Amino acid sequence: MPEAPENSFKGIDNHDSLISDQNKKAFQFIENVTIHADAVQERVLAEILSRSANVEYLKRHGLNGHVDRETFKKVMPVVVYEDLKPDIDRIANGDASPILCSQPISEFLTSSGTSGGERKLMPTIQEELGRRSLLYSLLMPVMDQFVAGLDKGKGMYFLFIKAEAKTPGGLVARPVLTSYYKSAYFKDRPYDPYTNYTSPNETILCQDSYQSMYSQLLCGLYLNNQVLRVGAVFASGFIRAIRFLEKHWPLLSNDIRTGTIDPKITDPSVREAVLKILKPNPKLADFIEAECGKESWKGIITRLWPNTKYIDVIVTGTMSQYIPILDYYSNGLPTVCTMYASSECYFGLNLNPMCKPSEVAYTLIPTMAYFEFLPVNRNNDGFITGPISLNEKEFGEQLADLVDVKLGQEYELVVTTYAGLYRYRVGDILKVAGFKNKAPQFNFVCRQNVVLSIDSDKTDEVELQNVVKNAANHLSSFDASLIEYTSYADTSNIPGHYVLYWEVSHSGEIPPSVFEDCCLTIEESLNSVYRQGRVSDKSIGPLEIKIVESGTFDKLMDFALSEGASINQYKTPRCVKYAPIVELLNSRVVSSYFSPKCPKWVPGHKQWCTEN
Q: Smallest distance from the beta carbon of 493 to ligand AMP, in angstroms?
A: 23
Please select the residue that binds ligand AMP; options are 112, 212, 486, 527, rule is CB under 6 A.
112
Q: Please report, for residues 74, 75, 386, 430, the alpha-carbon distance to residue 394 in angstroms, rounded to integers and kept in the order given.
A: 10, 12, 14, 21
Q: Are 414 and 402 in contact (CB under 8 A)?
A: no
Phi and psi angles of residue 380, each rounded to the nearest 5 degrees, phi first:
-60, -30
Q: Smallest distance from the beta carbon of 213 to ligand AMP, in angstroms?
A: 20
Residue 66 or 534 with smaller CB distance to ligand AMP: 534
Please select the residue that binds ligand AMP; options are 81, 186, 444, 501, rule is CB under 6 A.
444
Bond into 495 cis (ω within 30): yes
Q: Please tell me whether residue 236 binds ligand AMP under the rule CB under 6 A.
A: no
Please give the torsion angle defined by the CA atoms of residues 447, 453, 457 and 458, in that order, rounded to the nearest 10 degrees: -40
Comparing C-alpha atoms, which of 546, 422, 320 is closest to residue 76? 422
Q: Smallest distance from the beta carbon of 1 to ligand AMP, in angstroms?
A: 9
- State the binding string over 159-198 for ligand AMP (x if CB under 6 A, else -): -----------------x----------------------
Q: Are 151 and 19 in contact (CB under 8 A)?
A: yes
Q: Smallest distance from the beta carbon of 199 to ligand AMP, in angstroms?
A: 21
Count of residues in contact with ligand AMP, rule CB under 6 A: 17
CA-only gyration radius of the chain, Å: 25
Q: Site residues for ligand AMP, window 319-338 (CB under 6 A)?
A: 337
Please select the residue that binds ligand AMP; options are 98, 113, 193, 495, rule is CB under 6 A.
113
Please select the residue that binds ligand AMP; options are 23, 34, 52, 111, rule is CB under 6 A.
111
Tell me the helices (H) and strands (E) count for the chain, helix number first: 22, 22
Residue 283 or 356 with smaller CB distance to ligand AMP: 356
Residue 458 or 474 with smaller CB distance to ligand AMP: 458
Residue 432 or 471 with smaller CB distance to ligand AMP: 432
Terminal C-alpha separation, the chain:
36
- Within 13 A of 542's CA, how many CA atoms are on the CB side? 16
Q: Please tell me whether residue 317 binds ligand AMP under the rule CB under 6 A.
A: yes
Q: Please tell me whether residue 416 binds ligand AMP under the rule CB under 6 A.
A: no
Residue 217 or 337 with smaller CB distance to ligand AMP: 337
Q: Smallest distance from the beta carbon of 320 to ligand AMP, in angstroms?
A: 9
Residue 79 or 565 with smaller CB distance to ligand AMP: 79
Q: How far apart are CA 246 and CA 566, in angstroms?
A: 47
Residue 220 or 353 with smaller CB distance to ligand AMP: 353
Q: Please tell me whether residue 217 binds ligand AMP under the rule CB under 6 A.
A: no
Category of 503 on φ-ψ map: left (φ > 0), alpha (ψ -120 to 50) or beta: beta
Residue 392's identity, in one-letter code, is: E
Q: How far apart are CA 349 and CA 78, in angstroms?
A: 25
Q: Please tell me whether residue 428 binds ligand AMP under the rule CB under 6 A.
A: yes
* Span interacting with ligand AMP, options 67-75, 106-114, 188-196, 399-407, rule CB under 6 A: 106-114
Residue 113 or 533 with smaller CB distance to ligand AMP: 113
Please select the residue that binds ligand AMP; options are 195, 316, 487, 521, rule is CB under 6 A.
316
Phi and psi angles of residue 182, each rounded to the nearest 5 degrees, phi first:
-85, -5
Q: Smallest distance from the beta carbon of 576 to ligand AMP, in angstroms?
A: 21
- State the binding string over 286-315 for ligand AMP (x if CB under 6 A, else -): ----------------------------x-
Please give the torsion angle defined by the CA atoms of residues 1, 133, 341 and 126, in that order, rounded to the nearest 10 degrees: -140
Which residues make Cβ contacts (< 8 Å) with residue 447, sequence separation at least 6? 113, 317, 318, 427, 428, 429, 453, 458
- State the binding string over 338-377 for ligand AMP (x if CB under 6 A, else -): --xxxx----------------------------------
Q: Smallest distance from the beta carbon of 538 to ligand AMP, in angstroms?
A: 18
Residue 452's identity, in one-letter code, is: L
Q: Are 4 and 197 in contact (CB under 8 A)?
A: no
* Span interacting with ligand AMP, options 107-115, 160-168, 468-476, 569-577, rule CB under 6 A: 107-115
Q: How far apart are CA 549 and CA 571, in angstroms?
A: 19
To 5 degrees, how large is the angle CA 564–CA 565–CA 569? 155
DSSP code for 382: S
Residue 115 or 307 with smaller CB distance to ligand AMP: 115
CA 507 to chain centre: 44
Summarize as ranges the residues that interact with ligand AMP (CB under 6 A): 111-113, 176, 314, 316-317, 337, 340-343, 426, 428, 444, 447, 456
